[in-house]
Structure 1
Amino acid sequence: MELKYEMIPEDKIELCRDACNELMSFQKSKAYITPELFDSMNFDTRMVPSVNKAIENYIVVVKDNDKIVGYVYSNISPKETYSNEFAVFFDLSSVSKNNVGCLSQFYIKEEYRKYGVGSTLFNMSMEWLKQFDDVEDYFIFVSNGNDNALEFYQRKGFAVSHDILDGFITVLRSEKKLANK
């Protein structure tokens, strides 16, 4: 195994297509609340619009030789981005600044888990997010049934804020002052 972490620019997000689609399939396989909602979720409906709406994007792929085995996508977006036709992800009035940071997508192929890849990608994302002075609130949205991800983020200092869409998504939140500990 020869792992390499590579930050990619927005115009290369196509490299994440297969991994993003695998993430959506994985989430559907774990979901016990309305898994059919994932049927319309894929690279073109999730990652592309998110990248286009964000103010700043951070995308890192993990390669084993030349094969992509995982990725993380984080962004800085106006808080209003998270109130849309799909859902209202958090109480906008609870966020004092105009922008929020979001660890938006995170996927590692199963055979590459347990080697520290997740912690490395998480730490890279948090370091990137923390550099923005105009952001104090960080969010992660975990789909129902993905208990391992939920526990991972809680171990990393994120707390469950609330559920949305009748439990379809658990919203986790951290604030800059807490994340800097």
Structure 2
Amino acid sequence: MKIHYEVISQNDISTIKNLCNELMAYQQSKAHIHPEWFDNMSFETRLAPSVKGAKENFIIIAKDGDVVVGYAYSNITSKYIYSGGFATLDPVDFFDFDSVEGEDVGCLSQFYIKDEYRGAGIGSVLFERSMDWLKSFNSIKDFFIFVSNGNDGALKFYQNKGFSVSHQILDGFITVLKKIK
């Protein structure tokens, strides 16, 4: 296994389409609260619109030779984009807007590594490079990660990296983690 990392442009996001769809299936397999909400989640409904709606994007991939085995997608976006419907018809606010300094937030929005490559340090590299990118924006003070229910491994990983549980939304469907710069 010879892993190398590449930053890709938003024009090349189709490179991670299959991995994004694997992430949605993985999250659904772990979920114990509304797993059916993942039925309509895919690259086309989650990643592509997020990239298009963000002010800034950072996509880093991990490759074993020519095969993409993992990725992390981070963005800078208006905090108000996180108000509205999510897999339901009910509007939901992902956090208390008054608790967020400034207009924009930094989010580690998607993060996935193929099962056979987990535990090899790839996640730590993807995470650190994503956080370095997010921290490079001096105006951004609040960083968020949204973890789907049942994904206890991801929750522990992010907590070990200094993120704290802020709250849950959608009756526990998503746990919101936060770190202040």
TM-score by length of 1: 0.96
TM-score by length of 2: 0.96
1:84 partner SS: strand
The reply on whether 1:80 has 2:80 as its aligned counterpart is yes
1:11-47: per-residue Cα shift (whole Å, max 9, x none)? 0001010000000000000000000000010000000
Structure 2 counterpart of 1:179: none
Structure 2 counterpart of 1:117: 122
Structure 1 counterpart of 2:151: 146
State how far apart, in whole Å, the 1-side matches of 2:46 and 2:157 are.
Answer: 22
The reply on whether 1:6 has 2:11 as its aligned counterpart is no
1:130-176: per-residue Cα shift (whole Å, max 9, x none)? 00011000000000000000000000000000000000000000000
1:22 partner SS: helix
Alignment match of 2:95 (pick from 90, 96, 102):
90
Alignment match of 1:168 (pick from 157, 164, 173):
173
Alignment match of 1:102 (pick from 80, 88, 107):
107
Q: Which one-letter code corresponds to 2:103 in the other structure? A: N
1:58 partner SS: strand
Structure 1 counterpart of 2:19: 19
Q: Which one-letter code corresponds to 2:72 in the other structure? A: V
State how far apart, in whole Å, the 2-side matches of 1:96 and 1:4 are.
Answer: 35
Root mean square deviation, CA, Å: 0.6
State how far apart, in whole Å, the 1-side matches of 2:170 and 2:85 are.
Answer: 12
State how far apart, in whole Å, the 2-side matches of 1:105 and 1:38 are.
Answer: 14
Q: Which one-letter code corresponds to 2:177 in the other structure? A: L
Structure 2 counterpart of 1:45: 45
2:32 partner SS: coil
2:93 partner SS: coil
2:137 partner SS: coil
The reply on whether 1:131 has 2:136 as its aligned counterpart is yes
Q: Which one-letter code corresponds to 1:62 in the other structure? A: A
Equivalenced residues, count: 176
Q: Where do 1:25-64 residues align within 5 Å?
A: 25-64=25-64
Runs of 4+ off more than 3 Å:
none
State how far apart, in whole Å, the 2-side matches of 1:138 and 1:174 are.
Answer: 5
2:21 partner SS: helix
Cα distance, 1:2 vs. partner?
Answer: 1.2
State how far apart, in whole Å, the 2-side matches of 1:42 and 1:12 are.
Answer: 17
State how far apart, in whole Å, the 2-side matches of 1:23 and 1:162 are.
Answer: 23
Unaligned segments of structure 2, at least 5 residues: 87-91
